[in-house]
Chain A
């Protein structure tokens, strides 16, 4: 009986260590991915609010922490969170904006556009390409949800 308790304690500690270190590793990886793509620096620059960059970092940090808590403890939290449509619309809209910028940020870092334009020797009507990419992504996302893929 006594050994059983020790075993359980050791197991719990081991699990705790695994969880803690995987959390730190995931946070480091995911958030450097978010920041290094430069999406948020882009937002700050575009809106001329570069002085608020520390505040934006706080928002990212808070979003990451709360989002993770929500994901893992969803059923337990749903009693606390009477999720209303308004809240969902807001979250969906802004998460969509972010994801869209993120996807294009990734394309930018990987030099997708310059490479293609150079290979195909397209120098004009680049705006058309940008609009088409945006429409294509929007249509793709809609199709994905509409068909329930």
Chain B
């Protein structure tokens, strides 16, 4: 091999990568840049993980392990990692689930959320006794007994509708502003939590593919609480 000092390989990976083939190459899980295009092409095609079994599987690989792997071939190459330090590789077999089942699930969630939201608002109204409260407010202001169907109930309903639409920031496909909706944010947060949990679980169990076998990120957070007296 010729002298290759002063060469730097930059790489950046997402935290969660889905692969569909059993031979996972570095190019599948990372995006890379290097001034030497030959090295770049070789490194990208290096197989970093061979998945043996056909079924759905998940691996967590440390970037240190990847760097070690590249260094085995190019010891003088400087590697700069600009992305995540642990990468979750999910092997998904190519079967697409039946469309009918997918629709059933969507309908189930839709009905649950619809009934749940309807129940929640009714439970809330019941809990704080909105009917009686509106009667009291009506009497306070007009001095007359409320019939139960006054402008208060109507405007409250309109207010609920407006509040929900403002809060969710869209109805149907029509968005009111370019911001993501609260549910989209929640969904991403949830995914993030799952990824963090996967990485930490795997590190704690020593299953993470890392340079020294066991988890490298058992930092100051002591899970067993041993630092207590």
Task: State the A residues within 8 Å of B (CB).
Answer: 8, 11-12, 14-28, 30-32, 34-36, 38-45, 47-50, 52-73, 75-76, 90-91, 94-95, 97-99, 101-102, 118
What are 8 contact pairs spanning A and B, CB under 8 A? A16-B154, A25-B159, A41-B189, A43-B112, A47-B109, A61-B165, A62-B117, A94-B114
If A35-B183, A63-B116 touch, does A72 touch B125 (CB 8 Å cutoff)? yes
Q: Is the CB of A58 within 8 A of B149?
A: no
A131 smallest CB distance to B (angstroms): 21
Q: By DSSP majority rule, is chain B's interface helix, strand, loop, or mixed?
A: helix
| Across-interface contacts of B153 in A (CB, < 8 A) | 19, 72-73
User: Told that A53-B183, A72-B157, A95-B119 touch, could you supply 6 new A-B pairs with CB distance under 8 A?
Assistant: A34-B120, A45-B194, A57-B183, A71-B122, A94-B116, A99-B116
| Across-interface contacts of A45 in B (CB, < 8 A) | 187, 190-191, 194
Query: B82 interface residue, CB < 8 Å from A?
Result: no
Q: Is the CB of B125 within 8 A of A95?
A: no
If A41-B183, A95-B116 touch, does A72 touch B156 (CB 8 Å cutoff)? yes
Closest to A13 in B: B151
- Tally the A-B contacts, defined by beta carbons under 8 Å: 245
Q: Is the CB of A64 within 8 A of B117?
A: yes
| Across-interface contacts of B163 in A (CB, < 8 A) | 23-28, 31
Q: Is the CB of A71 within 8 A of B182?
A: no
Task: State the B residues within 8 Å of A (CB).
Answer: 97, 102, 105-106, 108-122, 124-126, 130-131, 134, 137-138, 141-142, 148-168, 170-173, 181-184, 186-187, 189-191, 194, 225
| Across-interface contacts of A15 in B (CB, < 8 A) | 137-138, 141-142, 150-152, 155
With beta carbons under 8 angstroms apart, the residue of A47, A54, A57 that contacts B108 is: A47
Closest to B134 in A: A19
| Across-interface contacts of B121 in A (CB, < 8 A) | 30, 63-64, 67-68, 71
Complex-state Cα separation, A43 to B187, whole angstroms: 10
Closest 10 CB pairs of A and B: A23-B159, A98-B116, A27-B163, A67-B118, A63-B117, A19-B155, A95-B119, A94-B115, A24-B163, A63-B114
